[in-house]
Amino acid sequence: MVGPGAAPLENANPLIYRRSGERPVTAREEDDELPDAIDDREIFDLIRSINDPEHPLTLEELNVVEQVRVKVNDAESTVSVEFTPTIPHCSMATLIGLSIKVKLLRSLPDRFKLDVHITPGTHASEHAVNKQLADKERVAAALENSHLLEVVNQCLTARS
Amino acid sequence: MPEALSLLCRVSAHPESRCWALAWSPSGTLLASCGGDRTVRIWGRDGPGWSCRAVLADGHQRTVRRVAWSPCGHYLASASFDGTTCVWKRQENDFEVVATLEGHENEVKSVAWAPSGSLLATCSRDKSVWVWEVDDEEQEFECVSVLSAHTQDVKHVVWHPSQELLASASYDDTVRLYREDDDDWVCCATLEGHTSTVWAVAWERSGQRLVSCSDDRTLRVWERSESGSGTEHSWKCVCTLSGYHGRSIYDVAWCHLTGAVATACGDDAVRVFEEVAAVAPGDAVTFSLAAHVPRAHAQDANGVAWHPREPGLLASCGDDGDIAFWHYQRPEGL
């Protein structure tokens, strides 16, 4: 896995998408008496500002993550996220998926089961990447690797 | 059905971490656990509960993935993501590292002792299975074979209950068996059928069958076939249990006292299956669900282990860092 700065760029001129606006807060959410279920938009807000490992852009700006590809079921404690690599041979796909997974692991209560997949049909090694991301033993081992953890943390650090 | 499995006791074994695996000592007086906090912990009975007798913290630099007791009960081996396997010698409640086995290129995922106690097997993400010879007097371990049959990360190794026959489970979706052949170790069977990672395997007491559990959410029971020619083993899948598990199945244990099969699943549940007696010879092998605790753990269940002497005593562990002790009562009418 390569970190940022390892030239040449794989996808030199990516399409850039417009960011979504701030999420409107509903009257129900402002009522502290009512329980708030976690919804798709909240999960999307957690991951949309993750940095791309290659470009000074967010995953939302590159259309790697979209709100319609986030599915939450709060009652069943499941979260599923599909992400779309910018090109079908993107070697950063595993790193991007890992960053999404780590962000959600750190942000959500432990009860949630997280599934992070590549959008079907958008990557040449879709099955292999999905299998790695679903293997919690390999994810645990990867996160004990200080170099890899540093790269993931860079993707997760909000730019000023 | 839930009353078939009743909770006896729950202990927070690896707080702030996950508990990956459990192993009972051969006499059943001690239980070893290991986890993401890099430690191995030793548990003993304390009245109605269980208490920690020792914390083995100075052996590994990273996660300890699995532990295994030698058949004599004097040694404990621990497999770690730091690439090494430590062998600990027990004196009462004191454990001391007597050997550190090095050689794997990266994470060691599992370790197992042969029934004679004279061989040890380890496996790793480096796709290999190593067989080590144990010199008990010198407390030395020599690698006698490196087996590279798997094409991916090897998750689990376990020896046949009475013979020097080794089984391994892998990310390449297969189970493989190995035996010694003219001073060398060879892969003598490949069990194909699972459609994703095989996380663990367990032998039936007789050693004629084994059960495997997988990320494909099924259990498969494999039987040694009579039709095998010469010394080669022929194994076939005689039963597939699908539709019971909601997520990946991380561990399976086949009780050598009662024949019950327990599983630890990523949907937080612990389940127990019983074989349904055949009505006529030649009938298909079938198992039925005998117990199901949906929230056995607050997060993924990772390990299950039947007590070696007390029928129905089961321990489980999970990502919540807990060990749970259960009493299993076979439901009537099964």
Spell out the alpha helix ranges (H) of A9-159: 27-30, 40-47, 93-107, 126-134, 136-143, 146-156
Task: Please tell me the predicted confidence (pLDDT) of residue A160.
Answer: 52
Round to whole Å and give the CA distance between B158 and B164: 10
Task: Please tell me the predicted confidence (pLDDT) of residue A92.
Answer: 95
Residue B6 confidence (pLDDT) above 60: yes
Helix axes A126-134, A136-143, angle to 10 degrees: 80
Task: Please tell me the predicted confidence (pLDDT) of residue A20.
Answer: 79
With CA atoms as reference, the chain A residue closest to B214 would be A135
* Encoded tokens for B269: 């549940």
C-alpha distance across the termini of chain A, in Å: 26
Task: Please tell me the predicted confidence (pLDDT) of residue A7.
Answer: 60
> Among the listed ranges A37-41, B16-20, B245-249, which one has the minimum average pLDDT value?
A37-41
The A-side interface with B (CB below 8 A) comprises: 110-111, 113, 131, 134-138, 140-141, 144
In contact, B291 and B241? CB cutoff 8 Å: no
Q: Which residue has the tokens 């990946």?
A: B248
Task: Please tell me the predicted confidence (pLDDT) of residue B282.
Answer: 81
Q: Which residue type occupies B317?
A: C
> Among the listed ranges A63-77, B126-140, B227-241, B260-274, which one has the minimum average pLDDT value?
B227-241
Q: Which residue has the tokens 């993707």?
A: A155
pLDDT digits (tens, 9 = 90+) for B304-331: 999 999 999 999 999 999 999 999 999 8
Cβ distance A138 to B248 less than 8 Å, yes or no, reads no
Chain B closest-CA separation from residue A138 CA (Å): 9
Cβ distance B196 to A131 less than 8 Å, yes or no, reads yes
Closest to B63 (Cβ–Cβ): which among A110, A113, A144? A144
| DSSP for B286-334, written as a single string | EEEEEEEETTSSSS-EEEEEE-SSSTTEEEEEETTSEEEEEEE-PPTT-
| DSSP for B246-284, written as a single string | SS-EEEEEE-TTT--EEEEETTS-EEEEEEEPPSSTTPP
With CA atoms as reference, the chain A residue closest to B216 would be A131
Round to whole Å and give the CA distance between A87 and B129: 37
The ipTM value here is: 0.94
Pairing mode of beta strands B129-135, B119-124: antiparallel
Cβ of residue B170 closer than 8 Å to a chain A Cβ: no
Closest to B247 (Cβ–Cβ): which among A113, A141, A144? A113
pLDDT digits (tens, 9 = 90+) for A107-143: 999 999 999 999 999 999 999 999 999 999 999 999 9
Cβ distance A140 to B300 less than 8 Å, yes or no, reads no
Confidence of residue B231 (pLDDT cuts 50, 70, 90): low
Round to whole Å and give the CA distance between B159 and A10: 47
Q: Which residue type occupies B144?
A: V
Chain A closest-CA separation from residue B298 CA (Å): 7
pLDDT digits (tens, 9 = 90+) for B81-90: 999 999 999 9
Secondary structure of residue A98 in the 3-state scheme: helix
Burial string for B43-76 (b: 16+ CB within 10 Å, else e) reads: beeeeeebeebbebeebbebbbbbbbbbeebebb
Contact residues, chain A, for B298 at CB < 8 Å: 110-111
Task: Please tell me the predicted confidence (pLDDT) of residue A2.
Answer: 45
Query: Alpha carbon of B299 to those of A95, A98, B27, B257, B264: distances in Å?
Result: 25, 20, 30, 29, 11
Round to whole Å and give the CA distance between B71 and B54: 20
In contact, B205 and B197? CB cutoff 8 Å: no
Cβ distance B36 to A113 less than 8 Å, yes or no, reads no
Cβ distance B125 to A113 less than 8 Å, yes or no, reads no
Cβ distance B319 to A110 less than 8 Å, yes or no, reads yes
Cβ pairs bridging A and B (under 8 Å): 38
Residue B2 confidence (pLDDT) above 50: no
Pairing mode of beta strands A78-83, A113-118: parallel
Cβ of residue B36 closer than 8 Å to a chain A Cβ: yes
Round to whole Å and give the CA distance between B129 and B108: 10
pLDDT, mean of residues B167-179: 98
pLDDT digits (tens, 9 = 90+) for A25-70: 777 777 777 777 888 889 999 999 999 998 999 999 999 999 999 9
Task: Please tell me the predicted confidence (pLDDT) of residue B229.
Answer: 58
pLDDT digits (tens, 9 = 90+) for A72-99: 999 999 999 999 999 999 999 999 999 9
With CA atoms as reference, the chain A residue closest to B295 would be A111
Closest to B81 (Cβ–Cβ): which among A113, A135, A144? A144
Residue A153 confidence (pLDDT) above 90: yes
Chain B closest-CA separation from residue A18 CA (Å): 37
Cβ distance B63 to A141 less than 8 Å, yes or no, reads yes
pLDDT, mean of residues B138-156: 95
* Encoded tokens for A132: 């790695």
